[in-house]
Every structure is written in structure tokens, then in C-alpha cells.
Structure 1
């Protein structure tokens, strides 16, 4: 009986730490089990565009809150469809407002994932961390904001992965939120602008180009911003050496 009670005492903190992440995983499973992910498609948006536009015009505030909540939940549950939702935001609210709502919602959803992962795994990873992970964590801490901005700006890293990695290396919540909010702005407004012209595209029978973010005229300026974010890292590494 004593061993059982001791085991329970050891397990309880782990279960508490894992609970937020388990809720998010359960939410993802439920979404797919119920087939709700099928609504995050351009066919569904095309079929319901008149109803959605009418709802936005008649109950604008409720529509905005609903969109932000849906977007944040989708990101928190790591449901594929962030690009679609951003385009839908541009379609429903226009490039600027749709982009703003998407940035706010994505930041909220990403922060939920970050906090859940940090709560669940940080202590475990830190206890088992080997030399390489410790060095990576130290390097991240020295230039948190710069590295996070690079990860957010460069559209080559999966969004869900960038939500998790900072939690594993102990990034501060403040820097995570700032870098997420700023870093996703360029890509978000690119997709929101696509959504702004979606009605004409539907009428012509076309489909939106999700690969637009990788076109040179769009990707190169974003990579330029990522390079600017890396300048503080280079300065800390080489500037201080030159001064000494």
C-alpha cells in the first residue's frame, strides 16, 4: 500500500503537467473523428460564401469574435488549415482587417500550444538533456527574439513545429508572443490579400494558389526580413570580438 501511494504521488504531478497537452490532442482527435476538418476547405467556403457574407454584414462583431475563436482553436489543436483560414479571413473581412484578425488569432492559438508544451515537457527534457541540447538552449537564450523571428518569418518550417520547439528550449513567454505576432505578419497579409480577391476567383472557376508565398517576388523580401533579424546575432558574435 505504501508503494502504491508513493507511486500515485509521483504520477500526479506528471498527469497535471500533461493535462493541457492531452486536452489539445483529444481536441484534434475529436475534430477528425467528427469530420469537422472537412469544413476547412475552399469547396465549403464557396458553397456557403453568401451565407457567411450575410452573417458578417448583419452581425459583424459576432462574426469577428467567431472567426478569431475558430482560428485560435484550430491553431491550438494543430489542425492543418491555417493558410485556408487566413485566406477566408481576407475573403470575409478584407485584406487589412482579415489579416489583423488572423494575426491575433494565430498568436493566441500558438501561445496556448507553447504553454501546454512548456508545462508538459520542459522539466522532463531539461533533466534528460545532453550536451548538444544544452548548448542549443543556451544559444537560444542569448538571442531568443532574433531566432524566433527567423523561425516565424521563413515559411519553410512547419507552423506546429515552431510552436513547440521554443517550449522545449525554455524560451520566455514574452519573447515568444512578440516574435510570433511580428513574425507571422508578412505571410499572413499575403494570404489575406489572396482571400480578398477570392470571390472573383470563385466566379471564374479558379482556385487560390497556396504556393504564392514561395514565389520569388514574395519570398525574397520575407527572407530579407529574416536576415535583418539575424543581424543582432552576428553583432553579438563578431562585434564583441572586434571590440576586445
Structure 2
């Protein structure tokens, strides 16, 4: 059977998988080795040094924090929640939220590009070749691309790395992925940063940060309301028959 003349040669297709394979390997190694390192206990033990360094080298600490957070997200390492809370602890609510959103968005783009260049390109080629129901589903998704991307970010039950991978595998536009990520993670980022602002008092009482605050009705309620707003255009298009699945 002759290969598709437009498809890349086998060696090039293999090379396309290298970036994503490295990310997956790093995620596996990180999950095994870094679970106890990227923790609130580590932050508690080093908080005095971190605060002193912040007061003397604010810009350097910002850059170090952004770099660390980007690596955590890009390689799907454990500790993203800890990093978000740390942003609030070190930089306050306003600056901490900005830094958290910026780092998480850049890291997400890293995963997105690695997956789209490798697995995403392969999957897209197969979908185009096979057509049928899967192709119609992909077309329907593109008709509501922005709404679906926002939902992936807003729905708390969707893991962050899943919301990074799925769009890459179905070929969404990079610009849409970028801005919906930056906007969609703001509500959650504010909550985790807000927890970090009061982290010093929590440590002084000998307690551990309570991340279940995120699921309190007065917190999760507005976020679910935003989810409903993002889902409304999808529902309207489906009712009007504009979305064919």
C-alpha cells in the first residue's frame, strides 16, 4: 500500500514525537521523585529565607518563581496547587494572581505545542483520512471552539493537563487556546492565590493550608455560574441545529 505523498517520512514522524515523549517521561519521573519536595512542608521550612530573598531581590525571585511554575505545568509535575498558593504567599493577591496566571498559561502552551506537533499532527492526519463521524465531531467542536475551551478551564473537575492535551489533539487554534487559557484560569487562580495570602498565619498556628476552601458554596458557586454562561452558546447552537454531532 502506497503512503500518502503529503504525509511526512517515517523518520520525521518519529522525531515529531520526541518533545511530547520527553514531557511524558519528565512527568513520570517527577511524580515519583518530587511529590514530597514540592509541598507546603517544604515551603514552611524555607519561608523565612524566601521572604528575606524577596525583600532583597524581588525581580530575581519573580523570575525564579515564574520559571519554576512554568516547568511544573509544562512537565505536569506535582505541586501546581502549591505553586499557586506560594504565589499569593510571596507576592500578594494582585501580583500573585498575575504571576500565577502568566506562568500557568505559558506552561500550558508548552504542553499544547509539544502535543500538537507530535500526537496532534498524527491524529489530525488520521481523522482527515478516515472522515465519517469523528470528522463531523471535530467540525462541530470547531464551531464552538471558544466556548468549549473556556469550559475546559472553568469546570473544576477537568484536570489541568487534560485541558492542555485535548485541544492540541483536535487541532484548535493556538491563539484561541492561549487567550481562553489565560482568561479561563483567572477565577481558580484568584482562589488559590487568596489562600496563599493568609498562609503565614496558617503556618504560625501550626496548621496546613485548607485547599477544600475551593469547594465551599460561596467560592465554587460563582465559578459554576461562569461555566453555565460558557455552556449557554453551545446549548443554543445545538437547539437551533447548528451543531451536528
Same fold (TM over 0.5): yes
Q: Which residue of 2 aligns with 1:145?
A: 146
- State the alpha-carbon separation in 1 of the partners of residues 63 and 134 from structure 2: 40
Count of residues paired in the alignment: 232
- State the alpha-carbon separation in 1 of the partners of residues 134 and 57 from structure 2: 50
List runs of 5+ in structure 1 lacking aligned partners.
Answer: 1-8
List runs of 5+ in structure 2 lacking aligned partners.
Answer: 1-7
Pairwise mapping of residues 39-78 of structure 1 onto structure 2 (< 5 A)?
Answer: 39-78=37-76
Pairwise mapping of residues 98-109 of structure 1 onto structure 2 (< 5 A)?
Answer: 98-109=96-107
Q: Deviations over 1:17-40 (max 9, x none)?
A: 11211222243345456x344321
- 126-135 vs 163-172, which moves further: 126-135
CA contact (8 A) 1:40 1:81 kept: yes
Q: Which residue of 2 aligns with 1:194?
A: 195
Decide whether aligned partners of structure 1 residues 150 and 205 sit closer, same or farther in structure 2, where only a CA change above 3 A counts: same
- 232-241 vs 47-56, which moves further: 232-241
Q: Deviations over 1:220-244 (max 9, x none)?
A: 1001111111232234344688xxx
Aligned equivalent of 1:111, options 109, 112, 123: 109
| CA deviation after TM superposition for structure 1 residue 203, in Å | 0.6
Is 1:171 matched with 2:169? Answer: no
- 212-221 vs 158-167, which moves further: 212-221
- State the alpha-carbon separation in 1 of the partners of residues 119 and 29 from structure 2: 23
- 45-54 vs 212-221, which moves further: 212-221
- State the alpha-carbon separation in 2 of the partners of residues 124 and 240 from structure 1: 31
CA contact (8 A) 2:34 2:78 kept: no
Q: Which residue of 2 aligns with 1:5?
A: none
- What's the TM-score once normalised by structure 2's chain length? 0.88
SS at match of 1:94: helix
